[in-house]
Amino acid sequence: MQADDMLVLGAREVEGALHGREDEVIDAVRRAYEAQARGETSLPHSSFLRFPDSEEDRIISLPAYLGDGFRLAGLKWIASVPGNVRRGMERASAVVILNDRDTGRPRAMLEGSIISKQRTAASAALAARVLRGGRAPEAIGFVGCGPINAEVAHFLAVVWPEVPRFVVFDLDEARARRFGEGIAAGRPGAELRVAASVEEVLAAAPLTAFGTTAIRPHVHDLSVCPPGATLLHVSLRDLAPEAILAHHNVVDDLHHVNRAQTSIHLASELAGNTDFVHGSLGEILLGRLEPPPHDGRLVIFSPFGLGTLDLAVADLVQRVAGGRGEGVRIPSFFPP
């Protein structure tokens, strides 16, 4: 490509570039977390564009710089419109823009929802492996049966292909059954149960992933969970602040997750501090911090979702797809 060209990669190219590369995606996410912990990133707060006629709809911008061998700047612009599900569309849509670090010029624009789902799922799977010390759970639960948890299920299958039991719950029982069928198709012989409540999932699984569209806490009691269970609180707003304060908490970045009415944010307002947060996943990955102790309390991972992860996965896509000559190259996109 010439310096004034732009590469555009759509969903087909992005999906093709990532197909079968789950381990590489997890590794890219790991490297991004470690760079964050070393202070080799720049990550301004995300900006939320909200609308006066909707409490649920939003578009979020996540600008970021990722150093540590990546030398990538960029932006994810992601919309979340839950009503899209009724329209037969996915809730989220996004683009990722990658900028040349030296010139500042955008050099590629990529379909971002696939990247966003995979980096979110890779983050959850990486956290589960690290926080459980590599120990496979006897069962995995899923609260919320949309595209995010479907991707989390896929990445957890890469980390632990031997898990024998799954318990799923969604407010839409038909969607929960379709979700379960998808898991069963990839896990012949696995036991699957569609639960009647969130509590049933929590009681049955030592590892549970939350992937809902909840905008305020709806889970107030975690006493039904097995001692020492791990919760992947991907959707960030499911757990009541009192539940958060009673257990060990690991985050991706405290400054980012402690805002926008997340459960961590509500807990910090209730406690008047953030001392209840054990630390970040990046610090644990670097060996600067031990994982939370196995003392019977739960371990809750609350990832805000860092723009640096999107850049790391987008870079992988660009290298793979670009190396194949895929995508649309727009020549002379910039003025001479």
Nearest to 96, CA basis, from 57, 123, 62: 62
Residues 22 and 154 in one domain: no
Residue 74 and residue 197 in one domain? no
Determine, yes or no, domain membership for 127.
Answer: no
Q: Tell me whether residue 98 is exposed, middle or buried, using C-beta atoms within 10 angstroms of its C-beta: 0 to 12, 13 to 18, 19 or more.
A: buried
Instruction: Give the model confidence (pLDDT) of 112-127 as tens digits.
Output: 999 999 999 999 999 9
What CA–CA distances, in Å, run from 330 to 6, 17, 106? 5, 20, 12
Q: 197 and 276, same structural domain? A: yes
Both 143 and 267 in one domain: the answer is: yes
How many other β-carbons are positioned within 10 Å of the β-carbon of residue 90?
Answer: 14
In a domain, 125, yes or no: no
Is 226 a member of any domain? yes
- pLDDT by residue for the chain (336 residues), tens digit each? 566 789 999 999 999 999 999 999 999 999 999 999 999 999 999 899 999 999 889 999 999 999 988 999 999 999 999 899 899 998 889 999 999 888 899 999 999 999 999 999 999 999 999 999 999 999 999 999 999 999 999 999 999 999 999 999 999 999 999 999 999 888 888 999 999 999 999 999 999 999 998 999 999 999 999 999 999 999 999 999 999 999 999 999 999 999 989 999 999 999 999 999 999 999 999 999 999 999 999 999 999 999 999 999 999 999 999 999 999 999 989 887
Domain count within the chain: 2
Q: Are residues 279 and 315 in the same domain?
A: no
Residue 183 lies in a domain: yes
Count the Cβ atoms, other than its own, within 10 Å of residue 126: 22
Could you tell me if residue 281 is inside a domain? yes
**Residue 172 domain boundaries:** 132-306
Are 171 and 91 within one domain? no
- Using an 8 Å Cβ cutoff, are 233 and 149 in contact? no
Give phi and psi for 221, each to the nearest 5: -130, 120
Can you give the CATH number for the domain in which 64 is found? 3.30.1780.10
